Amino acid sequence: MSLYFFRISTGRYSGAADQPYEFEDRAAAWTEMTEVCANLLGGIARSLKPNAEWCMELLDENKKPVFRISLLARAYADDRRSCDRR
């Protein structure tokens, strides 16, 4: 069993949980992270502003990033409708 922490960042705010979560392995930690994100994203997306980013990271016991899930709201000056990163 390994210890992990969740960290959420949005705009200038970034905060990591003080209490670790214990998971059997990285796959179990990923599964939990995606379930937590699924429960949060509806509310986050409804209040997200243009050109803002929200992300959740899973940190190992040394608080080093293991996984990251991001939601990026981008406003374009022209009429591009693409999900590319250019």
**Average pLDDT for 48-66:** 92
pLDDT tens per residue across span 34-50: 999 999 888 888 888 88
Residues 54, 10 contacting (CB under 8 angstroms): yes
pLDDT tens per residue across span 2-20: 999 999 998 777 777 789 9
Please give the pLDDT value at position 75. 87
φ and ψ of 80, to 5 deg: -70, 140
* pLDDT bracket for residue 83 (50, 70, 90): low
What average pLDDT does the chain have?
A: 87
